Each structure stands twice: as C-alpha cells, then as structure tokens.
C-alpha cells in the first residue's frame, strides 16, 4: 500500500476525463457564483443559469424548425453538445459529473481517452436526436446524463465481451442499466416523471453501438464480420 500522502487522487483518472468533469463542474461554479452575486452584474438569482439554458440547452422545437426550413445555423447545431454542460441545479450536476468520472475512468482505461470522449459526445448528440425525433416535448434538454449514459453503454459492452470470454451469462452486463431504469421508475412515481429518460436511453444505445468500432481491435473485427456476410 502506498504511503505517499502527496499523490494526487486524480493521478489514476485519465486526464481527458478529469478535464471533461472540470468543465462540467466549472460551468456550475460560474452559475453558483453568479447566484451569490459575485460575478459581474448578476446580483443573485438564477439569471445567468436561465440565460445559459436559453442559449445552450437543446430544444426539440428549434430542431423541428431547422428541419422545416432546411437551415442549420452553427449556433443552433452547437446545442447538440452544449446542453451537456448546463444543469438546472447543483445536485443534477453532481450526479452527472460523478457518473461521467466513474464510468469515464473505466472506459478510457479500456478503450483509450480519445475514444471515451467520442463516446461521451456521441451520446450527447444521439440523446438529443432521440429526444427530438421520438417526442414532441417543449421542455428543453439539459445536463450531462445522455453523455454519461453513453459511457454506461460502453461499460456494458465491455462486460458483455468479458462475460462472453468467460463463458458466463452475458446478460449480467445489463445489471447496471437495469438498476438505473428501476431507479428512474421509482423516482418518477414519487417525484413526477420527465422525458429525460428518452435522451438517456438514446445515449446508452449510442454507447453500445459506438463501442463496437471504438473498442481495441473492434474495427478490424467489425470489418471481418461484414466480409463474412
């Protein structure tokens, strides 16, 4: 056991994941400072947070208008990923950051740091698409959860392959996502349901799908299977 008490607790977490969580938490820190009246002209309240939600949260209604007009301004396309860094509360940010940190560490150590980031942002994009295409909800989408759920999807894929190599029941890999779905169900019954789960499952599906080419040697295996077909 190491006796060096000066070793940073972040040394074991890949730098890309640390940076990602720092950005997530940093945005919330700015909102909290503004709420306390310590930043610029924002003297208390959630004015800055509300402005950020209006500017950076994903809107299904705006997406529908872009499709109708055939126009896709970069400032609006940015919402597909920017919404992941804007949260409605400190508590929501904490849960999203913890999931991203824990799952991101495991995925980055197995797949690589760049691949973990691709999974996270791919989850945000696919989560937003699922939210827009499957629902007709005027409530904007915000928070890091769809990206975190993509990392859960990748972790599920890792367990699926691992159990397969051991000859064990591969469906055990879905224990984590199954538990989270039950938690969502109970939480929705007690506190009222929201449609965020659609984006989260979209992110999870994206994580599972993207893990096939992004896993070590995965692209070669995928191409080999396609040739065999």
Q: Where are the domains of the chain?
A: 15-228
Helix, strand counts (H, E) of the chain: 11, 0
165-188 in b/e form (b: 16+ CB < 10 A) is: eeeeeeeebeeebeebeeebeeee
The DSSP bridge partners found for residue 42 are: 39
Query: Are residues 110 and 45 in contact, defined by beta-carbon separation less than 8 angstroms?
Result: no
How confident is the model at residue 7, as a pLDDT?
47
Structural class in CATH, domain 15-228: mainly alpha
Contact 151, 116 (CB under 8 A): yes
CA 199 to chain centroid, in Å, comes to 9
Rounded to an integer, what distance in angstroms lies between the CA atom of residue 209 and that of residue 129? 15
In this prediction, residue 150 carries a pLDDT of: 97
Give pLDDT, residue 2. 43
Q: Show the low-confidence residues of the chain (pLDDT under 70).
A: 1-11, 40-45, 184-193, 218-229
Q: Strands, DSSP E only, in the chain?
A: none
**pLDDT tens digits, one per residue of 1-48:** 444 555 454 458 999 999 999 999 999 999 988 888 777 665 556 788
- Residue 1 pLDDT: 41
**Each residue's pLDDT tens digit, 38-58:** 776 655 567 888 999 999 999
Three-class DSSP category at 35: helix
Q: What is the pLDDT of residue 224?
A: 59
Q: How far apart are CA 129 and CA 133, in angstroms?
A: 6
Q: By percentage, how much of the chain surpasses pLDDT 70?
A: 83
pLDDT at residue 131, as a whole number: 96
């Amino acid at each position: 056991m190491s006796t060096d008490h000066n070793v940073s607790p972040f040394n074991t977490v890949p730098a890309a994941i640390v940076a990602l969580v720092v950005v997530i938490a940093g945005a919330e820190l700015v909102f909290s400072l503004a709420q306390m009246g310590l930043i610029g002209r924002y003297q208390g309240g959630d004015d800055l947070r509300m402005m950020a939600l209006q500017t950076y949260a994903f809107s299904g209604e705006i997406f529908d208008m872009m499709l109708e007009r055939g126009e896709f301004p970069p400032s609006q396309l940015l919402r597909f990923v920017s919404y992941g860094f804007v949260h409605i509360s400190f508590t929501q940010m904490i849960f999203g950051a913890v999931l991203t940190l824990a799952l991101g560490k495991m995925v980055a150590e197995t797949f690589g740091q760049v691949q973990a980031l691709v999974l996270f942002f791919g989850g945000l994009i696919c989560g937003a698409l699922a939210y827009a295409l499957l629902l007709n909800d005027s409530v904007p989408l915000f928070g890091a959860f769809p990206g975190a759920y993509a990392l859960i999807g990748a972790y599920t894929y890792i367990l699926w392959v691992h159990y397969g190599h051991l000859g064990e029941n591969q469906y055990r890999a879905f224990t984590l996502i199954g538990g989270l779905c039950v938690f969502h169900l109970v939480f929705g019954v007690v506190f009222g349901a929201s449609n965020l789960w659609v984006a989260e499952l979209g992110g999870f599906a994206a994580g599972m799908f993207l893990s096939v080419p992004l896993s070590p040697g995965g692209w070669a295996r995928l191409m080999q299977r396609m040739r065999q077909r």
